[in-house]
Structure 1
């Protein structure tokens, strides 16, 4: 376990036993949410769906979804993603999974759902695009997938701040800039003439300042829809989640957003955060905020101000090693729980092959005779393995998968820079 200062500590057996007993009695959290928006272009959209039943008729196996879509060059991509992304994610999850297996399957299902949504929208030949920050909360586990620059930030009840999404602005990531140029794109600022460059770094052709999005078929296939995914588990003390478009984050830091809304109910907090952002920067862009309070069921009132702490939160890795040297130190003094949120999964690679691999993050969580992205049935001779070449579906073995249909394979090759941008766009298998 990592403390706030980054030191390694062993956890005494008495504490582990106490935790185990507490976990047996842990109830599912209560989710209180609110949202607010001020519109400039009319391209921000939200999606909120609570108490979804994973097993029809079973009120215990529920999850909730909170998503924000910040469109650009029109609202078509944002609206399409809002209407289709959840179903595309769920369709990539095999049936008959228990709760733990379902949570383990979510990261890869989100990748498949994002890519399928992008592929199907681009088949409509519309040129708009959208950022997406998509959150599924199941019990105390939060799974967040994101493309673009709409961020999700969590504050635990103990006061630590955790960033659950990635910022895919080209200004923010050298790796993304290198990926785009290696795939045939160009990265640079707008040329104002006379050798003067202005504004943020952009991808050319198209001039988009993001490296990942859904849509944007006119920009080039090196702008990919493969999301950054992070999955964490909160302690039963809960916390507050803020999901906002760049209209908020360009004006307020995460610390300021949490501080200015401290002690407010979720709906009032969302409204106040938007108001503060507009006061700082003016209404230059659509400005949207979703606030979700994740609370023990016996504490329905707004979160109390946590004790002041220095620095940001530190994730506890379930694979972390403890040093025996630090163990003896802990035994000599009273053990205090550090402020931690358990990190279950994190991956930001733009490679679809890596993200859909059958061993990543869990084996055999795919449908043997279906495309891992669009879920269409693989016909004889038309299945392409992530690991190898064409595979005859009559001779499929479990270790051959996951498979891609021909059009999804073409999309994967384009996103990974293995065929020229703009060549033979994937409209359907029959084209």
Structure 2
């Protein structure tokens, strides 16, 4: 067993303090490129590399890379591109220090996705969109996703990691069970005479995804609650690929990295799109973003080829953080090229996704809905733990709290409230 696999992982706060204390590490350089071939004009991207946690503080910058793959029109993709980042940042209380801000991101992304979906559905548009949304803060990657676009990461050492989850009904049994237990139906398109064709879909509506933003015609069974993974890469950096399903229907993760080995990000993105559409021609919008995360002291250069012993191996398991003391580790620390998992959760239940081990006053504003940020009078909000089948150590009067509108939407999404307009279809 290599020394790298035996490395002891540490807490997020320790990792961040270590960066600040070392003059050699600093923040990474971010170099990116994107490419697209359009068939329907429903793919959109968002790239911002100069966001600030603290306005006017250049040392608090973070970067955002997002891909919105629309369907049944482009309205949901455009709306999400314009509002999702603001809705996410609005869910983070002010005056948090860096480690609290990074730790709050997974919960804030859940709130941001749900609020964006809720607000968009009020426009009465029936389009929908997949979303893969990535925030880079220093050496920490936080990725949130609904739908079937993907984000994958290759470390400088050649290991490949999935940072997103597929929400296709065809390949996700857990999501199929969630929909049917909530009152929805899952099946293939019936052409008459008992013949069924195509992928599994959710009915009514016929969407083949179990999670998205928008899609109000499908009903509350299709939820906007994202899968979220947060990891810390080593200071050797690596390469991110964020692509729509048009790429992944044609290429494996290994093939995507291999086909652009040695290329700068802009050429790499174009090559990945070319490789994806070349065999059968373009049948759907195909979009790719490539991001290289590089140490500042090193010049921009192609990533080295992967190690032979790890080539083609996808890492589904990460080093887990531990709560034990790390003072001795800090003293003898030499960072290997390893990706350490800080957070991962894919549940569709808001009571689980908005829960937090941090003090509630640090993660949520008092008397403010944890999702839509509307101000509430004391006693007006409903605890996210109310009605939960597994509240853990929380009590119904503990926060965070939802306004009545968001609580009603939560009950619909979790199958705890009937939807009258769909009940008649099953009678």
- The alignment's TM-score, normalised by the length of structure 1, stands at 0.86
Query: In the alignment, is residue 342 of structure 1 matched against residue 316 of structure 2?
Result: no
Q: CA deviation at 1:405?
A: 0.7
| 1:135-214 equivalences in 2 (<5 Å) | 135-214=134-213
CA–CA separation in structure 1 for the residues paired with 2:178 and 2:188: 17
Aligned to 1:402: 400
Structure 2 partner of 1:51: 50
Q: How does 1:83-94 map to 2 (within 5 A)?
A: 83-94=82-93
1:363-378 matched pairs, under 5 angstroms: 364-378=362-376
CA apart distance, 1:194: 2.4
Q: For the Cα contact (< 8 Å) 2:38–2:286, is it kept in 1? A: yes
Deviation, 1:317, is 1.1
Rounded to whole Å, the distance in 1 between the matches of 2:61 and 2:151 is 22
Could you say what secondary structure the match of 2:279 adopts?
A: helix
From the superposition, tell whether residues 361 and 309 of structure 1 become closer, same or farther in structure 2 (CA, over 3 Å): farther
Distance 1:369-1:237 versus aligned 2 partners, 3 A rule: same
Alignment match, 1:299: 298
Aligned residue runs from structure 1 range 9-20, under 5 A: none
Work out whether residues 188 and 202 of structure 1, in 8 Å CA contact, stay in contact via their aligned partners in 2.
yes
How far does residue 9 in structure 1 lie from its aligned partner after superposition? 6.4
> What are structure 2's unaligned runs of at least 5 residues?
325-332, 388-394, 423-427
CA distance in 1 between counterparts of 2:158 and 2:341 reads: 17
Q: Does 2:321 match 1:318?
A: yes
Structure 1 CA distance for aligned equivalents of residues 8 and 90 of structure 2: 41
Per mean C-alpha deviation after superposition, the further-off stretch among 126-135 and 297-306 is 297-306
- Shifted more, 281-290 versus 380-389: the winner is 380-389
Name the CA shift for 1:240/1:388 in 2 (closer, same or farther; >3 Å).
same
1:361 shift after superposition: 9.8
In 2 relative to 1, CA 422–149 (structure 1 residues): closer, same or farther, beyond 3 Å? farther
Tell me if structure 2 keeps the 8 A contact 1:364–1:398: no
1:171-229 CA-partner distances (Å, limit 9, x unpaired): 11111000000000000111122222111110000000000000000001010000000
CA, structure 1 residues 338+299, in 2 after alignment: closer, same or farther (shift >3 Å)?
closer
Does the alignment pair 1:309 with 2:309? yes
Q: Once the 2 structures are TM-superposed, how far is the Cα of residue 128 of structure 1 from its aligned partner?
A: 0.3
Distance in 2 (alpha carbons) for counterparts of 1:122 and 1:53: 30
User: Superposition pairs for residues 30-429 of structure 1, below 5 Å?
Assistant: 30-306=29-305, 307-310=307-310, 311-313=313-315, 314-319=317-322, 340-359=338-357, 364-379=362-377, 381-388=379-386, 400-421=398-419
Q: Look up the match of 1:330.
A: none
Number of equivalenced pairs:
397
Counterparts of 1:188 and 1:398, CA distance in 2: 37
Q: Give the superposition deviation at 1:24.
A: 1.6
Alpha carbons of structure 1 residues 279 and 362: separation in structure 2 relative to 1, 3 Å: farther
- Once the two structures are superposed, residues 14-58 of structure 1 have per-residue CA deviations (whole angstroms, 9 ceiling, x without a partner) of xx9xx9699723110000001000000000000001121111111
Q: Which shows bigger deviation, 372-381 or 170-179? A: 372-381
* Distance in 2, Cα, partners of 1:51 & 1:84: 17
Q: Which whole-Å deviations, capped at 9, do the CAs of 1:384-424 have from their partners, x for residues lacking one?
A: 111238xxxxxxx9973111111101100000001113569
Is the deviation greater in 300-309 or in 374-383? Answer: 300-309
CA distance in 1, matches of 2:184, 2:396: 37
User: Quick check: 2:34–2:290 contact (8 Å CA) kept in 1?
Assistant: yes
Over residues 294-339 of structure 1, what are the superposed CA-to-partner deviations in whole Å (9 max), with x where a residue is unaligned? 0001223233323333323452111399xxxxxxxxxxxxx99875
- TM-score between both structures, scaled by the size of structure 2: 0.87
Offset, 1:109: 0.2
Does the aligned pair in 1 maintain the 2:235–2:337 contact within 8 Å? no
User: Is this contact kept in 1: 2:37–2:286, CA < 8 A?
Assistant: yes
The answer to whether the Cα contact below 8 Å between 2:67 and 2:132 also exists between their aligned partners in 1 is yes
Contact 1:155 1:240 (8 Å CA) reproduced = yes
How far does the alpha carbon of each residue in 1:236-286 deviate from its partner, in whole angstroms, 9 at most, with x for none?
A: 000000000001110111100100001101011001111111102320100
Per-residue CA deviation, residues 353-388 of structure 1 (Å, 9 max, x unaligned), is 111124379774111110000000013553111123
User: How well do the aligned residues superpose, as a CA RMSD in angstroms?
Assistant: 2.8
How many Å separate the matches in 2 of 1:376 and 1:121?
Answer: 16
